Amino acid sequence: MDQLELLKKDWKNQDKIIPKLSKEELSKIIHRKSSSIVKWIFIISILELLIPITLSLCSRKLRATDEIEKLGLTNFMNIFYGMVFLVVLFFIVKFYKNYKAISANSSTKILIQKIIKTRKTVKYYIWFNLALIPIITVVLVYQTLHSPEIIAKNLDNLSILTIWVLSLIIMAIVVGVFWLFYQLIYGILLKRLTKNYNELINNEINLQNI
Amino acid sequence: MNKTLEHKFISDLEENQNIVHKVCRIYTNNKEAHNDLFQEISIQLWKAYPKFRGDSKFSTWMYRVALNTAITLYRKSKRTIKTQDFESVLYRIESIDYDDSEEKQLKLLYKAIHQLSDIDKALVLLYLEDKSYKDISEMMGITEVNARVKMNRVKTKLKNILNP
């Protein structure tokens, strides 16, 4: 007999011997906690959404507002924070909507697409936060170098250049470390999903052309 | 969620639990992992149940949610992957008469299935359950042609593992 036919015959026979769980047992099972990957993705994403907000709130408290005022950046900072707040709000709403759309009722392809989309929102959010670091650095360094106190010190061009270069290097390292760390989390969380998704859709494009 | 809905769901699940056991059998290779996946699929079925509109058969809907859980949502523990025992295969063999060579072949077949990827395992299950290409393509969200191509490939893959 063909091996696959043998397998099918055996498969059909197992119906009689599969252990049956009682209604009570099933009722207990469905009330246990899920440990699905979507739940983990949700928890980690929420943490990722919250961390930059918390950091910026803390740094705002720590940073002497006097200093900002001295640098003449109060207005800039207020507008800046207002805009950032709106963007963050947009990301959170988008993330929540994507998350809500995830349903095991969908086809496998759509389900994976939705999960990846949810993570992508968080990815763009992280990029947005990382992009803020250079903007803030450049504005702060520029304003500091043009503040009356520094101008009074009459720095030569070389010192100014050194300050710029050092600040930018430190900034690049900070952004780089955050980016690498994030790539790691992103990769680990989505590795299996992406692999399954690619396997599922491969051929799809080629076949459409036949 | 209300109690009437829960009672109805538990009855449906009890009646069709074979489907969940079969999916677990394809995706896991020991009792502990089997029970773990069974639990996660049951939870996901219950979560998705209010959205089940009855436009497909309950059993078809169950396959869809169960396979989605196994392929996408279930988080395999490392312990499960390392375990190489095949209790789930052994639990049935005593009760059915097979000659030795058939039994050996079956063991090899199940072992080969466990080596396949998540997507291929789903295809094997749907093949064994005699699902149509139309059902398979709807469940997985791929075209019927692609489902057919994939099914042929997985059959060849299995044969290759068995007859190297």
**Cβ contact B88:B29 at 8 Å:** yes
**pLDDT exceeds cutoff 60 at A43:** yes
pLDDT digits (tens, 9 = 90+) for A70-119: 777 888 888 888 898 899 899 999 999 999 889 888 999 999 999 999 98
The answer to whether position A129 is within a domain reads yes
Closest to B109 in 3D by CA, of B132, B128, B126, B95: B128
Within 26-85 of B, beta carbons closer than 8 Å to A belong to: 38-40, 42-48, 51-52, 61, 64-65, 67-69, 71-75
Question: Per-residue confidence at B80, pLDDT binned at 50, 70, 90?
Answer: very low
B-chain residues near A118 (CB < 8 A): none
Which residue of B68, B100, B135 is the best one to mutate when testing the A interface, meaning the one whose CB has the most A CBs within 10 A?
B68
Q: Which residue has the higher pLDDT, B30 or A173?
A: A173
pLDDT digits (tens, 9 = 90+) for B33-74: 899 999 999 999 999 999 887 777 888 899 999 999 999 988
Residues 6 or more apart in contact with residue B61 via CB below 8 angstroms:
A105, B52
pLDDT digits (tens, 9 = 90+) for A125-161: 989 989 988 998 898 888 888 888 778 777 888 888 9
Q: Which residue has the higher pLDDT, A21 or B75?
A: A21
Cross-chain Cβ contact A10/B96 below 8 Å: yes
Q: What is the pLDDT of residue A63?
A: 60
Cα separation, B97 vs B102, in Å, equals 10
B-chain residues near A3 (CB < 8 A): 105, 109, 158-159, 162
Domain tally, chain A:
1
Question: Per-residue confidence at B89, pLDDT binned at 50, 70, 90?
Answer: very low
Assess B90–A contact: CB distance below 8 Å, yes or no: no
Q: What is the pLDDT of residue A167?
A: 93
Longest dimension (CA), chain A: 95
The answer to whether position A153 is within a domain reads yes
Cα separation, A133 vs A60, in Å, equals 14
pTM comes to 0.81
The alpha carbon of residue A108 is apart from the nearest alpha carbon of chain B, in Å, by 5
Domain enclosing residue A155, as ranges: 92-200
B-chain residues near A23 (CB < 8 A): 10-11, 14
Q: Domain ranges for chain B, please list them.
A: 3-162
Closest to B88 in 3D by CA, of B36, B21, B39: B21
Q: CB atoms < 10 A from the CB of A119, how many?
A: 21
ipTM above threshold 0.85: no
Which residue of A41, A105, A113 is the best one to mutate when testing the B interface, meaning the one whose CB has the most B CBs within 10 A?
A105
The answer to whether position A81 is within a domain reads no
Residues 6 or more apart in contact with residue A108 via CB below 8 angstroms:
A196, A200, B67, B68, B71, B72, B122, B139, B140, B141
Cα separation, B13 vs A43, in Å, equals 29
Cross-chain Cβ contact B96/A200 below 8 Å: no
The H or E element that residue A187 is part of is: helix A157-201
